[in-house]
A and B are shown apart, each in its own frame.
Chain A
Amino acid sequence: MSAAAAEKANLSEAGSRNGAGGEEPQLPSVRTRFMARLRRHRVPLLLLALLAAVALASAWGRTDEDSSALSPANPAPNGAMAAAEILADRGVDVQHHELQAEARAALEDNPGATLLFLDPAGYLTGEQRRDLADAAGRVVLVEPSLDQLADFAPQILSAGLLPPAAEGQQREAECSNADAEAAGSIEAGGKTYRGPVTCFPAPGSTGTDAAGSYAATEDGSAVVLGGAGLLANETLAREGNAALAFRTLGADDTLVWYQADPFDVPPSQVPVDPFSLLPPWVNPLLFWLGLVAALAAFWRGRRLGPLVEEPLPVVVHAAETAEGRARLYQDSRAVGHAAATLRAAAMTRLAAHLRLGPEAGAEDVTRAAADASGRSYPATDDLLNQRLPGTGTELVHWARDLKDLEEEATSS
Chain B
Amino acid sequence: MAVSGRLVLLALLGSAAVVFFPGAAAILLWLAFLAAAAGLDLLLAASPRQLRVERRLPASVRLSDSTVGTLVLRNNGGRRLQAMVRDGWQPSAGARNPQQHATVPAGEARTLDVRLEPARRGILKSAHVAVRSFGPLGLAARQRTLPVPGEIRVLPPFHSRRHLPSRLRRLRELDGNTSVQLRGAGTEFDSLREYVRGDDVRSIDWRATARRRDTVVRTWRPERDRRVVIALDTSRTSAARIEDEPRLDTGIEATLLLAVLARSGGDRVDFLAFDRRIRARVDSGGRDNLLSRLVTAVAPLEPELIEADFSLLPGAVQAVTARRSLVVLISALDSGAVEEGLVQVLPQLLAKHVVVVASVRDPGLDELRAGGGTTPAVFRAAAAERALLDRAAVSAQLRSMGAEVVDEPPHELAPKLADMYLRLKATGKL
Contact surface of A with B, Cβ cutoff 8 Å: 1-2, 4-5, 8-9, 12, 280-281, 283-285, 287-289, 291-292, 295-296, 298-299, 302, 304-306, 308-311, 313-323, 325-327, 329-330, 337-339, 341-342, 344-345, 348, 392-393, 395-396, 399-400, 403
Contacts and interface: CB of A to CB of B under 8 A. Distances in A.
Given A2-B400, A288-B18, A296 B379 contact: no
Contacts of A326: 368, 376, 379-380, 382-384
A368 B88 CA distance: 68
How would you classify the secondary structure of chain B's contact residues: helix, strand, loop or mixed? helix
B305 interface: yes
Nearest to B14: A288
29 contacts: A1-B399, A1-B400, A2-B400, A8-B389, A281-B18, A281-B20, A284-B26, A284-B27, A288-B14, A292-B11, A295-B11, A302-B2, A304-B132, A308-B90, A310-B90, A313-B120, A313-B302, A314-B305, A316-B236, A321-B387, A322-B386, A323-B380, A325-B383, A341-B382, A341-B385, A342-B385, A395-B375, A396-B375, A400-B373
A403 B372 contact: yes
Contacts of A318: 240-242, 247, 362, 364
A10 to B, nearest CB: 12
Interface in B380-405: 380-389, 392-393, 396-397, 399-400
A321 B383 CA distance: 9
Closest A-B pairs by Cβ, 8 of them: A305-B130, A338-B382, A281-B22, A326-B383, A345-B385, A318-B240, A325-B383, A319-B364
B379 A292 contact: no
B7 A304 contact: no
Interface in B296-322: 302-303, 305
Given A2-B397, A325-B383, A291 B368 contact: no
B165 interface: no
A9 B393 contact: yes
A299 B138 CA distance: 13
Q: Which of A8, A12, A281, A400 has the most CB of B within 10 A?
A: A281
Interface string B142-157: 0101000000000000
B383 A329 contact: yes
B365 interface: yes
Nearest to B367: A319
Interface of B: 2-5, 7-8, 11-12, 14-15, 18-20, 22-24, 26-27, 30-31, 84, 86, 88-92, 99, 120, 126-130, 132, 143, 145, 236, 239-242, 246-247, 302-303, 305, 362, 364-365, 368-369, 372-376, 378-389, 392-393, 396-397, 399-400
Contacts of A280: 22
Given A281-B20, A295-B8, 10 more contacts: A1-B400, A292-B11, A308-B126, A310-B90, A317-B240, A319-B365, A322-B387, A326-B379, A395-B378, A400-B372
A233 to B, nearest CB: 69
A2 B396 contact: yes
A320 to B, nearest CB: 8
B197 to A, nearest CB: 35
A284 B385 CA distance: 77
Contact of B91 (A4, A310, A399): A310
A282 to B, nearest CB: 8
A308 B91 contact: yes
A319 B27 contact: no
B242 A1 contact: no
A398 to B, nearest CB: 9
B239 A306 contact: no
B8 A305 contact: no
Contact of B8 (A292, A306, A344): A292
B145 A284 contact: no
Contacts of B376: 326, 330
Contacts of B375: 330, 392-393, 395-396
A202 B196 CA distance: 146
Q: Which of B84, B91, B236, B387 has the most CB of A within 10 A?
A: B387
